[in-house]
Amino acid sequence: METKKRIFSGVQPSGNITLGNYLGAIKNWVELQDDYECLYAIMDMHSITVRQDPKELKKRTLDLLKIYLACGIDPEKNLLFVQSHVPSHAQLAWVLNCYTYMGELSRMTQFKDKSKSHADNINAGLFTYPVLMAADILLYSADLVPVGKDQMQHIEICRDIAGRFNAIYGDVFKIPEGFLPKAGAKVMSLQEPLKKMSKSDPNPKGYISILDDSAVIAKKIKSAVTDSEGVVEFREGDEAKAGINNLMTIYSAVTGKTMDEITKEYAGAGYGVFKSDTADAVVEHIRPIREEYDRLSGDKAYLEGIFRSGAERAEKIASRMVSKVYKKVGFLPF
Ligand code: AQP
């Protein structure tokens, strides 16, 4: 029997899950769950590289599990767990830290961006974030890692670290591949369309949260920054069109229409109509997610069962890899 390829991915519970997180990652995961063996984690350890309110973090962790389920991730088919419940992540990350260079980490765009936006807290964890991410992936010998474009640089460094380790100790780690969605790989801020949409954006008008209500979504899309040309046309790389390119990306991702089809549909129509239809399409797309999320909110025991069994099953796989790595580097077994 042919064994399925393995997938690992995750999202940090560091804010309100955005349409960017959904289109760039979670929506894609749902499409992959039948053809791959999938592990989807809630990356709480990553999230504390930026200060979090402990109460909020706890709440958001459970909320994110509900979002995974509400988006259609089936807990019977996939392994769902919380990163901090599986100690192997921290254990492997430490070893990999010793096989990662300061120079390569200092080139990471996310580190540079977050050092600017959190200038009062440039901590070592923020710097070594990609090493923990490499551990997350390599622990499970994942073949593929579905991510948005912003995370591709971290996949590259993960591949470099794994290759370096393998060159010294033999074939220990599987070298993973990044996997981008067809549409929505990079959703931009609605207010600053040259910046990516982020859940930690201090301006909530810049992002759409999966849990925003319909009126809020419509208002945010209607006030999205565009240009004065009034032509609904996708022009890759044209900074002046960044706002409209972004809205077209969103519209295309939720309706499945191509850019050409959208351009034809809105020829001569102007931005008002297009924005209004985009808002409707997003609201309709999100509505069932929101409803399922609300339904799940009343079932704490069910959620707890999922993350408990997920952690046990994940640790079983991950601890085998940690033992192998410990042996390779020469730690005394006990
Ligand atoms: N704007 C985006 N467009 C497409 N994909 C995106 N992703 C994030 N933003 C976009 C993808 O979502 C997944 C989870 O991301 P994460 O939570 O691990 O961290 P992130 O990439 O740093 O996401 P945020 O929203 O920007 O979080 P904060 O503000 O906390 O840093 C990843 O697959 C990512 O590619």
Structure token digits, residue 217: 């979504």
CATH class (in words) of the domain with range 204-295? mainly alpha
CATH 1.10.240.10 domain locations along the chain: 204-295
Residue 91, φ and ψ in degrees, nearest 5: -65, -45
Helix (H) or strand (E) holding 227: none
Cα separations in angstroms, 315 against 70, 88, 220, 275: 25, 7, 41, 46
What residues contact 59, with CB distance under 8 A and at least 6 apart? none
In the sheet where 144-146 sits, what is the strand order?
A: 79-82, 37-42, 6-11, 144-146, 177-179
- Tell whether the torsion through CA atoms of 260, 196, 137 and 32 is positive or negative: negative
Structure token digits, residue 155: 């996949």
Question: To test ligand 1's pocket by mutation, which of 198, 209, 252 has the most ligand atoms within 8 angstroms of CB?
Answer: 198
Give DSSP secondary structure letters for 131-162.
HHHHHHHHTTT-SEEE--GGGHHHHHHHHHHH
Q: Letter for the amino acid at 159?
A: R
Verify whether ligand 1 is closer than 6 Å to residue 126 (CB atom).
no
Verify whether ligand 1 is closer than 6 Å to residue 7 (CB atom).
no
Question: To test ligand 1's pocket by mutation, which of 17, 49, 112, 150 has the most ligand atoms within 8 angstroms of CB?
Answer: 150
Taking CA atoms only, the protein residue closest to ligand 1 atom 8 is 21
Mean pLDDT, 10 residues at a time, the chain of 334 residues:
89 94 93 95 97 97 97 96 98 98 97 93 97 98 94 97 98 96 88 94 95 95 95 94 97 96 94 97 96 93 97 98 98 92
SS3 percent helix, strand, coil of the chain, rounded to 5, is 55, 10, 35
Fold of 6-180+300-329: Rossmann fold (3.40.50)
Give DSSP secondary structure letters for 152-209.
HHHHHHHHHHHHHHHHHHSS-S---EEE--SS-SSPBPSSSTTSB--TT-S-GGG--B
SS (H, E, C) 61-122: HHHHHHHHHHHCCCCCCCEEEEHHHCCHHHHHHHHHHCCCCHHHHHCCHHHHHHHHHCCCCC
Catalytic residue numbers read 114, 196, 199
Structure token digits, residue 141: 């010998």
Residue 93 to residue 85: CA distance in whole angstroms: 15
Residue 141 to residue 261: CA distance in whole angstroms: 40
Verify whether ligand 1 is closer than 6 Å to residue 118 (CB atom).
no
- Half-sphere exposure of residue 90: CA atoms within 13 angstroms, side-chain side: 10
- Tell whether the torsion through CA atoms of 103, 109, 114 and 116 is positive or negative: positive
Q: Ligand 1 centroid to 11 CA: how many Å? A: 7
Taking CA atoms only, the protein residue closest to ligand 1 atom 35 is 148
Cα of 305 vs its chain's centroid, Å: 24
CATH 3.40.50.620 domain locations along the chain: 6-180+300-329
